Amino acid sequence: MPSSSIKGKSVVIIGGTAGIGLATAQAAAAAGAKVWVAGRSESHIEKAKLAAQGAFEVRQADTHDAESLKALFDEVGTIDHLVSAAVGGERTLKPFLEQTEEQFKAAYDKLWGYAKVVRTGAPYLATDGAVTLVSGSPARKIRPAQSPLSCVGASVENLVRCLAVEMAPIRVNVVSPGTVDTAMFDAMGDAKEANLAAMTTSHLIPRAGTSEEVADGILFVMQNRFVTGTTVDVDGGRILS
């Protein structure tokens, strides 16, 4: 039976210079994988280099720039695991009827970015390789003013099911985080902790998750050779609350 270990495997994480992507890089490197991460923000790239401490490679690439993606994939060669956790688009969080058409469309840049990552990366994937994308619990747990998050997340999850059928035996999965304590909430300042507590008080596990906990879910679908076309929820029970 093939080994499920990622030791010695090549792992590429787009959107891997911060948050969930960076935590996944650190976990994969600790498990013995050869890891490359890429992001578009110079500040995140510099911080990722400090966090890497030589354990993984850090590059600049954008989900909407096929040339930068191809340059990275050419450097890596054969890819065993391709992960994309990049946000890729601007989300306007207010009621649908209060958004402009342009604001709503902008959220779909995440989907188009993921599509470009998969299209560009597919020729480099090992025959027993895997693709893992990241969506979010709003895809199936809808709150007011979250229509962009919900619609785009649902599109990502359905894209994964389509790709799993079309790209088999390459495995394709999606991990869906709930409310996770990342830098996205840092703009709240001193109110961050209280706001996160209020946002998660009704969850079955009444707290925000961590990037490391979501990374554990990503490593699960990377390593389990019998999982494909699946959405793995790492959300503290948010979609059931």
In a domain, 240, yes or no: no
Query: Pick from 65, 66, 61: which is nearest to 12 by CA?
Result: 61
pLDDT of amino acid 104: 95
Q: What average pLDDT does range 105-120 have in this prediction? A: 96
Mean pLDDT to the nearest integer, 83-87: 94
What's the one-letter identity of residue 22? L
Residue 44 lies in a domain: yes
141: its two tokens? 């747990």
Which residues touch 151 (CB under 8 Å, ≥6 apart)? 107
CATH number for the domain that contains residue 201: 3.40.50.720
- Give the model's pLDDT for residue 204: 97
Check whether 91 has a pLDDT greater than 90. Answer: no
Residue 2 has a pLDDT of 52
239 inside domain: no
Name the more confident of 188 and 103.
103
Token pair in block for residue 132? 């893992």
User: Mean pLDDT over residues 23-46, rounded?
Assistant: 97
3 within some domain: no
CA distance 19 to 44: 10
Looking at the domain assignment, is residue 33 inside a domain? Answer: yes
Cα–Cα distance for residue pair 78/91, rounded to 1 Å: 34
Average pLDDT, the chain: 95
CA 54 to chain centre: 22
Note the pTM of the prediction, 2 decimals. 0.94
The residue with greater pLDDT, 223 or 87, is 223
Q: Is residue 103 part of a domain?
A: yes
Q: Is residue 209 one of the residues assigned to a domain?
A: yes
Distance CA(102)–CA(204), nearest Å, equals 36
Give the pLDDT of residue 232.
98
Across 160-177, average pLDDT: 98
pLDDT at 101 over 90: yes
- Could you list the residue range(s) of the whole structural domain that residue 76 is in? 10-233
Q: How many domains does the chain have?
A: 1
Report yes or no on 23 lying in a domain.
Answer: yes
pLDDT of residue 1: 43
